[in-house]
Amino acid sequence: MHNLYLAAQRAYPRTVAAGTGFAVMGLGDASVQALLEPKLDFHRNLVSSTYNGLISPIFYSWYAYMDRIWPPKGLRFASLMRKVLVNQIVLTSINTPVYMAWCHHVEAALAGPCEDWAAVHASFAEHARLELPGLLCASFGVWIPSNTINFLWVPQHLKIPFISAFSVAWGGFLSMVVHRQTPPIDPNVVTAGSNNG
């Protein structure tokens, strides 16, 4: 099975990256739900998994680009740290808030006709304000060490599977934080915010 996966990864890298990303996030989210929720929320799992499946081919291309800029062979420590920090700043600063926005808005759309998108936007903005700084800090503790190993020793065709091992745990944690209940939004804040924009 492992050899079959590797052969598929070499032949269809972006397609396999998408499937791997989908499966990894599905596993991470389902694991967290099994531990913390009374039952599996299928829509939540599908929304999270779909996002990760869509973004994983982009990660594959990004890792290839980073390897062209800073090739793994003969990489000096200063160059490795630049590579890891650029990766962290670019991917995390974009991916984490986009994932949060995706989950809030797609899940709202799947729940049925939404009559108050302003409330959905306000809920997302409040949730991001409360959770995003902590998520970004936590990501440094997970992704800097794992990406250092990934960039230093893992060949291109194995980068997505390697990172996927960390992504199961991170995806579960990220999904848990994104789906944590936020305090109710004050309608006056929503009204004031919509009058300013």
Query: What single string gives the DSSP state of each residue in the chain?
Result: -HHHHHHHHHHSHHHHHHHHHHHHHHHHHHHHHHHHSSS--HHHHHHHHHHHHHHHHHHHHHHHHHHHHS-STT--HHHHHHHHHHHIIIIIHHHHHHHHHHHHHHHHHHTS--S-HHHHHHHHHHHHHHHHHHHHHHHHHHHHHHHHHHHHH--GGGHHHHHHHHHHHHHHHHHHHHTSPPPPPPHHHHHHHHHH-
pLDDT of 137: 92
pLDDT of 195: 47
Residue spans per domain, the chain: 2-196
pLDDT of 99: 93
pTM, two decimal places: 0.82
pLDDT in tens, the chain (197 residues): 778 988 998 899 999 999 998 998 999 999 999 999 889 999 999 999 999 999 999 999 998 999 899 887 887 888 899 999 999 999 888 999 999 999 999 999 998 887 789 999 998 999 999 999 999 999 999 999 998 998 888 887 788 778 877 888 888 899 899 888 755 544 444 444 444 44
